[in-house]
Chains A and B, each alone.
Chain A
Amino acid sequence: MKMDNQFSVYKQICKLSYLLFFLLLLSCSSEKNEQEDEGYTPVFVSLESPQLFRDKIIAPVIPENNPLTKEGIALGKKLFFDKILSKNNTVSCATCHNPKKAFTDNLQFSKGINDNLGTRNSMPLFNLAWNFDERFAWDGKEFGLEEQAFEPVTNHLEMNSNWKEVANKLQNHTEYPTLFKQAFGDTPIDSNLVVKAIAQFERTLISGNSKFDKFLRGEIELSPEEENGFAVFIDEARGDCFHCHGSEKNPLWTDNKFHNNGLDTNFSDIGLGAVTGDPNDNGKFRTPSLRNLEFTAPYMHDGRFSTLEEVIDHYSEGLQFSTTIDPLMKKIDKGGTQLTNKDKKDLKAFLLSLSDYDFINNSSFNP
């Protein structure tokens, strides 16, 4: 009798399990169909690397947990240009990162909400997926592009918002819930998804078609001034710019490392030193790319130089000694390598050959 009861219970459990399993199958199947029917499966896309990038340097960094999708990039672009991320809806990422200016502004210090001035010059944005160390911002304080995108939203001088408010605004928006669903599925909108989308869009900002790129591809010739300017650039005795900014085999025109380039004897902003806590890093800032300088004035982390002439003069005769100055800065006692006026002029001509008009006029980067 007891055995019979046990067997009966066992049979009931089996039936129930089968039923549950069947229901589970149905529910999975229905969810999948719904996603497919309503077009919620994001389309994976790969980054279109310029030929010189493919030929000369290693592959871009795309995090495994944030692959590029058509929907993610479109959402990131919309967010990038939308003032909804700021507390009072007056500032977007594009306020300080204007596509026409190679995604920077032309101010010494950028303006946040209520016209609050920041403390650093806004960095241009391009070729970010090729920052192999993934240290972003002038002082490298942000590791990873997604991580970087967190910061401005809550920075009180920039967007002064908080992520809960932002998520609420996006959730109650007429378009965003659908766009997030298309890009990321049914995950609730939160800061992680916002920064993932923005990072996806930022990775598509690729500049690789300047006059110098065309020269390297054998399509055009340089002017004699540009040629001599490049010779100054790669001459250890004159410009010696290539040790940090690279040369014809590195289309990034930066090493994305941190250097003290002799701006000051005493620092009002210690840069990397504040991030690492190491006094040996005081006064060090990330090397910016030399692409698109024509559109990105003023220069340096604090925007102290208005023109390229001032920048070149600094390296030529304006170097200031400090204990952390990079050893690549030569003849510091004389202020630098004392370039001739012709070399200075030609160096500027070469630098301007790195201007990529196709990049700043790329309509797919417009709002």
Chain B
Amino acid sequence: MKKIIFYFLVSSFFILGCSSDNDVKLQNTKITINFNHSWEDEKVTKDDFNDVKFTNKNGEKVSIEKYRYLLSNIRLVDANNIETKLSDYLLINVGEEKNLSFSTEQLILEGTYSLQFNFGFSGEDNEKDYNDLNSVNFNVPSDSPLNGGYHYMQFDGKYTSSSTTTPAPFNYHAVKAEDIKNPAQPTPREPRDTSFGVTFSDILVNEGGEVIINVNSNIAEWFENPHTWDLNKLNTVLMPDYDAQILMNENGQSVFSLQTDM
């Protein structure tokens, strides 16, 4: 018994000795990411769907009927580039209110991190099979000239404009860019991975064990920056449109932001 007490006391001293106020603590931390959505500054939820009430930069009135997108390789990265994986991927579905908030418990050090993720699957990740995504028809047919993989986003709705007064459909579907060989395009361009990375710095993990990160997706950005999107010209059948996919990639870069005024 005396021996046990002796060992206990010695171990306690060692443990106490290791800990000091200046050390960085490894702690179990609950990390929550909320995925919020807006049209410019106006919050968007599923209750705002099916109403041709938003106006894009080109002046078309727009409704949202489906808005689901995939984020992959969601991770926290510290100053030494050491990554803590939070999730392999998430399919966020605003209309069905799925994955609008994601939580995970991670054993990480206190400190400053960046939150990083990819919009869509990049590279080899887009060639794997994901049964949950297949089950909700998020894949791209592999026998087609589009060569398989997965959608990055399905954004469906209707629009009206000065030339289209009856609401007409648009299917703003982001996928990897594949140039389809046809008589007008006898030498297709190389396929291009149009997924893109997003990084938000200065995520603080403090003592206390909980971090809440609010990521906003400004839907209007898909239509405005840097390219003013003309729905009269680019509305449906955009998946096999190589150039449209490049435009989506470029406009998508400014869609996501870190929200601090919650």
Q: Which residues of A contact B (CB under 8 A)?
A: 55-58, 130, 132, 230-231, 234-237, 240, 242-250, 252, 255, 280, 321, 323-333
Which listed residue (B65, B137, B139, B237) contacts A327, Cβ 8 A? B65
CB of B262 within 8 Å of the partner chain: no
Size category of the binding interface on chain B: 20 to 34
Q: Give chain A nearest CB distance to B67 CB in angstroms.
A: 11
- Cβ A330 vs Cβ B141 within 8 A: no
The closest CB in chain B to the CB of A331 belongs to B236
CB of B49 within 8 Å of the partner chain: yes
A-side contacts of B154, CB under 8 Å: 243
Query: Which interface residue of B65, B141, B239 has the most chain A CB atoms within 10 A?
Result: B141
- Cβ B131 vs Cβ A56 within 8 A: yes
Q: Give chain A nearest CB distance to B40 CB in angstroms.
A: 22
A-side contacts of B50, CB under 8 Å: 280, 324
- Cβ B135 vs Cβ A237 within 8 A: no
B-side contacts of A130, CB under 8 Å: 135
- Cβ A249 vs Cβ B239 within 8 A: no
Q: Complex: how many Å from CA A280 to CA B66?
A: 13
The closest CB in chain A to the CB of B158 belongs to A327
- Cβ A236 vs Cβ B240 within 8 A: yes
Q: Complex: how many Å from CA A165 to CA B64?
A: 49
The closest CB in chain B to the CB of A133 belongs to B96
Which listed residue (A132, A325, A327, A328) contacts B135, Cβ 8 A? A132
B-side contacts of A321, CB under 8 Å: 166
Q: Give chain B nearest CB distance to A53 CB in angstroms.
A: 10
Q: Do A56 and B129 form a contact, CB below 8 Å, given A243-B137, A250-B139?
A: yes
Which listed residue (A235, A250, A329, A332) contacts B137, Cβ 8 A? A250
Q: Give chain A nearest CB distance to B10 CB in angstroms.
A: 50
Can you name 13 extra interface pairs (CB under 8 A) apart from A255-B136, A280-B50?
A: A57-B135, A236-B238, A236-B239, A236-B240, A240-B237, A243-B137, A247-B139, A248-B141, A250-B135, A250-B137, A327-B66, A332-B169, A333-B168
- Cβ A237 vs Cβ B137 within 8 A: no
- Cβ A327 vs Cβ B156 within 8 A: yes
A interface: dominant SS: loop
Which listed residue (A58, A234, A326, A329) contacts B144, Cβ 8 A? A234
The closest CB in chain B to the CB of A325 belongs to B169
Q: Give chain B nearest CB distance to A56 CB in angstroms.
A: 5
- Cβ B135 vs Cβ A58 within 8 A: yes
B-side contacts of A57, CB under 8 Å: 131, 134-135
Q: Complex: how many Å from CA A132 to CA B238?
A: 29
CB of B132 within 8 Å of the partner chain: yes
The closest CB in chain A to the CB of B235 belongs to A330
- Cβ A58 vs Cβ B169 within 8 A: no
B-side contacts of A250, CB under 8 Å: 134-135, 137, 139
Q: Give chain A nearest CB distance to B197 CB in angstroms.
A: 26
- Cβ B169 vs Cβ A280 within 8 A: no
Q: Give chain A nearest CB distance to B30 CB in angstroms.
A: 27
The closest CB in chain B to the CB of A247 belongs to B141
A-side contacts of B168, CB under 8 Å: 332-333
Query: Which interface residue of A132, A235, A321, A329 has the most chain B CB atoms within 10 A?
Result: A235
CB of B191 within 8 Å of the partner chain: no
Question: Mind listing 23 A-B residue pairs with CB under 8 Å?
Answer: A55-B129, A58-B132, A130-B135, A230-B143, A231-B144, A237-B237, A242-B137, A242-B141, A244-B137, A247-B141, A248-B142, A248-B143, A249-B129, A250-B134, A255-B136, A255-B137, A280-B50, A321-B166, A326-B169, A327-B157, A327-B169, A327-B170, A328-B156
CB of B257 within 8 Å of the partner chain: no
The closest CB in chain A to the CB of B150 belongs to A249
Q: Complex: how many Å from CA A236 to CA B136?
A: 18
B-side contacts of A333, CB under 8 Å: 166, 168
CB of B188 within 8 Å of the partner chain: no
Q: Do A249 and B240 form a contact, CB below 8 Å, given A280-B50, A324-B50, A328-B169?
A: no
Q: Complex: how many Å from CA A252 to CA B139?
A: 14
CB of B167 within 8 Å of the partner chain: yes
CB of B171 within 8 Å of the partner chain: yes
B-side contacts of A324, CB under 8 Å: 50
B-side contacts of A329, CB under 8 Å: 169
A-side contacts of B142, CB under 8 Å: 247-249
The closest CB in chain B to the CB of A242 belongs to B141
- Cβ B134 vs Cβ A56 within 8 A: yes
Q: Complex: how many Å from CA A329 to CA B132?
A: 25
B-side contacts of A252, CB under 8 Å: 135
Per-residue A-contact encoding for B108-148, CB less than 8 Å = 1, 0 else: 00000000000000000000010110111101011110000
B-side contacts of A248, CB under 8 Å: 141-143
